[in-house]
Amino acid sequence: MGDDPHPTPPPKLHATRLTRAFGRGSKRVDALGPVELDVAPGEFTCIVGPSGCGKSTLLRIAAGLLRPSSGRLEIRTDSARPAAMIFQDYGIYDWKTVLANVRFGLDIQRVPRKEADARAHALLARMGLADFAQAYPSALSGGMQQRVAIARALAVEPEILLMDEPFAALDAQLRTILQDELLELTQATRTTTLFITHSLEEAIVLGDRVLVMSSRPGRIIAERRPPFARPRTGDIRDSPEFTALKGELWELLRGEVRPEVVPV
């Protein structure tokens, strides 16, 4: 991307000519790319784009759930599983208590029970969920459940955080609150993050960079850096720069959001 002003540290993520297609023969659908992408360590990158443009595909490749059809994605890490992912739904397990859900990643990585419990409790306290440790997710509201999902991802202290429209199922007010909470959390930890969203506002509030993707097959057609210094708060939503950037991004995106039926 042209106006990238920080060449100094080697990128945490480096994608070259990354593509992904689904199906075979005449039913082949090119879902993604080619995508060129560099993400610096500690950078919070938001990706916006029309439905079906392959945003999630890109994230799933980064997560190791899917292989690319061509090209390659390099992740600079020593670990074999450096990422944690937060899903729109289906993320947390109904049959585990809140505490057990948050501890899940640690249990999988065979962290000793005592230490895992301590880390899970600390995170729950930080997320305002301390009183619900022994509750089952079905007893919680949607916002609380998504907080549990965030806590579960952060519990493993991932090098890379992958978020796939994590707030899409929440109502607008709750969304704003969770955005502000996530902003505070990520500014404290500075984890490298890929964040996918439909909401331009969300992307601008949270992101160091906002990437705009084209309709399918998704390519990155623009990049903007929200001009707000960190640490920032949700108050930037009221600034004229915010509104201007949102308008600019919408102009870019509008041409890509075509009213067509997208067969999946």
Partner 1 sequence: MTTTTKAPQPDLLVREPGPQELDPARTHRRRRTLEISLAVAVPAVLLLLWQLAAVQGWIDDRIYPAPQTILEDGVERAAAGELWPDVWATLKRVLAGYAVGTVSGYALGLLMGSLSLVRAALEPLLDALYVVPKLALLPIFLNMFGLGEGPQIALVAATVFFFVWISTMAAVLAVPTGHRDAGQVFGATPWQMFRHVLLPASLPAVLVGARIAAGVAVLVIVASESIAADEGLGHLIFDSRALFQNDIMFVGIVCVAVLGVLFSELVRLVGRLLTPWAPRDHGRGQS
Q: CB of 36: closest distance to partner 1 in angstroms?
A: 15
For the window 165-194, what string marks contact with partner 1 as x by the rule CB under 8 A? ------------------------------
The residue among 220, 257, 236 whose CA lies nearest residue 187 is 236
Residues 54-93 that bind partner 1 (CB under 8 A): 61-62, 64-82
Angle at 246 between CA 242 and CA 247, to 5 degrees: 120
> In whole angstroms, how close is the CB of 82 to partner 1 at the nearest point?
7
Q: Which two tokens stand for residue 10?
A: 């080697």
Q: CB 196 → partner 1: shortest distance, Å?
A: 17
Q: Considering beta carbons, is residue 75 or 183 the nearer one to partner 1?
A: 75
Closer residue to partner 1 in complex, CB, 8/26: 26
Q: Which two tokens stand for residue 139?
A: 């007893």
Torsion angle defined by CA atoms of residues 130, 90, 59 and 185, in that order, rounded to the nearest 10 degrees: -10
CB of 105 vs partner 1, minimal distance in Å: 16
Nearer to partner 1, 65 or 177 (CB): 65
Report how many residues bind partner 1 under the rule CB under 8 A: 25
Q: Copy the structure tokens of residue 49.
A: 């784009």
Residue nearer to partner 1 on the CB measure, 147 or 216: 216
Nearer to partner 1, 21 or 185 (CB): 21
Query: In the complex with partner 1, which residue's Cβ is closer, 76 or 126?
Result: 76
Cα-to-chain-centroid distance, residue 177: 17
Nearer Cβ to partner 1 (108/188):
108
Task: Write out the binding residues for partner 1, residues 15-54 only, by CB under 8 A.
Answer: 20-21, 24-25
Q: Roughly how many angstroms between the first and final C-alpha of the chain, as a whole number?
A: 29
Q: How many Cβ atoms are within 10 Å of 190's Cβ, its own excluded?
A: 12
**CA–CA distance, 31 with 195 (Å, rounded to integer):** 19
Convert 108-143 to b/e letters by CB count within 10 Å (16 or more is b). Answer: eeebeeeebbebbbebbebbebeebbeeebeebeeb
Q: How far is the CB of 73 from partner 1 (least distance, A)?
A: 4
To partner 1, the closest distance from the beta carbon of 242 in angstroms equals: 35
CA angle, residues 227, 5, 71, in degrees to nearest 5? 110
The distance of closest approach from Cβ of residue 85 to partner 1 in the complex, given in angstroms and rounded to an integer, is 14
The position carrying tokens 């480096």 is 14
Chain positions contacting partner 1, by CB under 8 A? 20-21, 24-25, 61-62, 64-82
